[in-house]
Structure formats: structure tokens, C-alpha cells
Amino acid sequence: MKKIGIIGYGWLGERIAPALSAHYEIYTTTTTEEKAEKLNAKGLHAILASFPDYQLSGPYPKWDMMESLDVLIITIPISEKSCCVSSLYNRIQNLAAFVGDFKGQMFLMSSTGVYPDLDKEFTEVDIPVEKISGERMIKSKYSQVNILRLGGLMGDNRLLKNYNISNLEAAVNHIHYVDIAGILLNMIENETEGCLYNVTAPLHPSKSQVINAQKNIEDRKGALEVKGKKVLSSKLVSELGYDFQYPDPRTFHNN
């Protein structure tokens, strides 16, 4: 059985792992001993690893599993919003030392937050990898990396109605975790490399429409034009032929 490594077993890792483990053996990292023990008890081969945003006195130790992995998925934050550029550089250097000279298929989970909050539709060509520090640094080290710019992670216990939301008439750019797993499996099977994709549900209703659907409240406003940023996944659909299981965020609560 092929082996997949997931660096950063957080909310997303926990939800994509079951779909991946049906086809692949999972190895992962986490930041607490307690969580590592729980994951190992489930057969997920977890180790402790965190990637500080400062320069270490010596090189960060390489993951001893790297030579055995066929696929690597990086889910830890690689964003200027999480730290300044110099700190981000240090974090990526530590991550790269951990990964080493990996030649297999690789995925970086980025974010649609790279696009500005403007009332327009965005595709990947609007903000290329070279404009985003974290993506650019990873790409320069691993040219084969697939960069997936994920919309707001939703499904399971993450529903818009559970949060204090402003700007209710703005469009949502959400993605159900089931579709993230499906897209990963599609790309792994097709041995896709070096691609940049927006990963958002094809439909972009307003926040209020999504909340009303989740609260089972009838939408009396009808088909009004929804304003705000819309990040399109049309390139992904065209190139991968992927059929979304949850194309409409108004149905994300119907799992």
C-alpha cells in the first residue's frame, strides 16, 4: 500500500484522513504528545513536529519517513498573515529541512485569502504564485508542488450559522471537506504535479442565504444579485473534470 504523509493533523487533516486511509497508509505530524498517542492508537503513525518561525542553532531534523512516502500534504499555515516575511522564511526553512529533498507528489494547502476583498470574480491568473511569499518559497524548493487555495473550510461542526457573521449580503467562498478529499484523491490518482487551483464550491450564495438554509428559514428575497469577492474554481473543474459532491454551500449541513 502506498504511503501518504500529512504535515499538520488539525481540523482538515482529521477530516480528509478517513477518505485517504481507504486507499493509502497514513503518516502524520501533530504538536502534542496526547494527540500523537491517540492518532497512533488509530493506526495513523503520528509523530511530534512543529516548525518555529525563528532560526535554530542547528538544522531541523529530517522526518525519517520521507524516503518511504509517495505523497506529501502540507496543511500548516504558510502565510504572511500568520507571521512577517522573515519569520515565514524561517518557518519554511525548518519545514524544508524536515521534508528534505522530497521528489514525490506534493500538495500545499494555501488559502483564497490571498485575493483582495473586492467586488469581482477572481481566477488563479489574477494573483500568481510569485506574488505570494509562502507559496513562492515552497514552489522554489519543490517545483512539483500542487498549490490548492482553499476557500473557507466547512462541513461537520463548521457551519456559518454557528458564527458571529458580518456583511451578510456578501458572497461566500466555501468548500466542504469532503470535496477537498475528493480533489486530492483525483489528483493523486492522475499523478498531477505543479498545478495551482482555487478550491471553492462552484456556487457563491450570500452569507445570509447560507445561514437561512442552515436554520431552515425560507429565503424570501429570491434570486438577488450577490455582491462581493467570488473566487472561481472553474480551472479545477475544466482541467481535472472534478464533479463536486457539495457544489452549493447552502446544502453543506445536509451530510
Q: Residue 249: its pLDDT value, please? A: 97
CB 210 within 8 A of CB 217: no
Look at residue 86 and tell me whether its pLDDT is greater than 90: no
Q: Is this model's pTM higher than 0.85 or not?
A: yes
* pLDDT score of 209 more than 80: yes
| Over residues 129-146, mean pLDDT | 97
Domain locations along the chain: 3-159+174-203+230-249
211 pLDDT more than 80: yes
**Predicted local confidence at residue 83, as pLDDT:** 65
Output the pLDDT for position 225: 77
pLDDT band at 255; cut points 50, 70, 90: low
Q: Is the pLDDT of residue 254 over 90?
A: no
3-159+174-203+230-249: CATH superfamily: NAD(P)-binding Rossmann-like Domain (3.40.50.720)
**CB neighbourhood size of 115 (10 A):** 20
- Over range 132-147, report the average pLDDT: 97
For residues 33 and 93, the answer to whether their CB atoms sit within 8 Å is no
Reported as a pLDDT band with limits 50, 70 and 90, residue 85 is confident
The pLDDT tens digits of the residues spanning 22-60 come to 899 999 999 999 999 999 999 899 999 999 888 888 889
Amino acid sitting at position 151: G
Query: Which DSSP symbol is given to 82?
Result: T
Which residue's entry shows cell 482538515?
12
Read off the DSSP letter of residue 147.
E
Tell me the pLDDT band of 173, cut-offs 50, 70 and 90.
Answer: very high
Of all residues in the chain, the percent with pLDDT exceeding 70 is 96
Which one is predicted more confidently, 226 or 115? Answer: 115
Return d(Cα 127, Cα 104) in angstroms, integer. Answer: 26
Alpha-carbon span 248 to 228, nearest angstrom: 17
